[in-house]
A and B are shown apart, each in its own frame.
Chain A
Amino acid sequence: MKLLSTLSPAETMLVIDSSCSLKDMMKYTFMDLLLKRVIEIKVENKRVLARDKYAKKVEVIKSYNYVIKGKNFDKYNPKVHELIFLAPYQKSSSFKILFKHLVKLAYENAGSSKSFKSSVLNSKYLKDLLKVNLFQQVFGGMSLTQEGTRTKDEILKYLKPIDENIHNLLNGDKKKALELLLSLGGNIFLLNNLDFSLLKKINKQLLKEQKSVYNESYDTGDDWWYYFDFYDDNYAFDSYFDDFDSTIDSFDSDFDAAGCSSCDSGCSSCGGCGGCN
């Protein structure tokens, strides 16, 4: 199904269920950009002081995730809704942004669920599939056109057997599995039964063969080709699903913080002090 390889996960979600949550749409957009290596995670290790079980101060090494420009950033042609994550890197190429700051930044850039969905709706691929009437323009929402309803059914019909069989295929017929996964582009995140660790088992020779097959049917200038980089580099990042959820969920409580922490000497109840030694 060629349409799926051109739709981003957020676009597909809108066709399947236009009431989908902003959080999920943002999460899959972020993961899709990682998949295409438009952005990358850089892990930095830092020595920090922590307390051991006897409350004694000990030095430990902790890892922190930063997001930087990926190897395909400069060549990539972003869709409007992807700019919530990419805009800062377009303004300055030297940005290295703490993962949780990028999530917050994107959350701010998205505005509201309604405005983010409007930006997704801007896509040329959704033009004939979704419509917004006057009432929906005011109060939010959108509905499928006749063509959209037909496409939705086709997508679900296509995804269901893949989802049911992908686990077995990755353990058995890897060629078929790769063929199907590539046909989904970034929509692999919509599969419930995909075990990302199994993707590392796909060998390079198989990937090379698939590349030459697709060379004949796909435009070589298309952004879809960036998905090969993910399978080629064995780039694993599915753990960020949970990080993304917990970061967004923590926003409400974090921003209620009074801004004061106690310190070892002096100001224990100051209005805006961040602590002293």
Chain B
Amino acid sequence: MSEEEKILWNKILNFNIDDPDSSFTFTDRLCRENDWKMEYALRAILEYKKFIFLVCTSDKAQTPSDQVDQVWHLHLLYTQSYWNEFCKGILNKEIHHGPTKGVEERGLFKEQYSCTLGQYSQKFNEKPPSDIWPNPQKRISEIHFSRVNRHRYWVIPKIKFN
């Protein structure tokens, strides 16, 4: 990391995504909507910050893991925090989210995702944690998510044979 990048990373790292006065914070909502534990959600937020740093410091397009993407989606809903405090106040640029245009982009995203993992290791001098940044094959194959009304339906995991 260059000196300039270190300054940017510290600003991103110290950005408070939660409104401490809320009784139901951004992180609480992230836990509830994804059925995550608090510790996992906090780690996912940290990884989201790292991803945004990579976006800001690279010329190439970056692809997040699904977990990081979920943090990003939720942050985009907090428009004041995302656009004004984060993009304008901290990053000094607008970071737009680009959803996939379809199956034809799958190969491209897989390649971009692999590059993002490489960039991550290079910039942060450590491997991305595999429980938040799965390998490219898993990232591209495990994408079948649905919103489930848990008042009406149970969620039962499939049996794994491997």
Contacts and interface: CB of A to CB of B under 8 A. Distances in A.
A98 B37 contact: no
Contacts of B24: 254-255, 257, 259
B98 interface: no
Given A48-B21, A64-B20, A108-B38, 8 more contacts: A95-B46, A101-B27, A105-B38, A254-B24, A259-B32, A273-B77, A274-B77, A276-B80
Nearest to A107: B38
B37 A108 contact: yes
Given A91-B129, A94-B46, A254 B23 contact: yes
B43 A98 contact: no
Contact of B78 (A64, A100, A274): A274
B23 A101 contact: no
A61 interface: no
A98 B39 contact: no
A277 interface: yes
A265 to B, nearest CB: 12
Interface of B: 13-14, 16, 18, 20-21, 23-25, 27-29, 32-33, 37-39, 42-43, 46, 77-80, 129
Contacts of B38: 101, 104-105, 108
Contact of B43 (A48, A62, A91, A253): A91
Given A48-B21, A259-B24, A92 B39 contact: no
Nearest to A253: B23
A257 B23 contact: yes
A101 B18 contact: yes
Interface string A245-264: 00000100111010100000
A88 B13 CA distance: 16
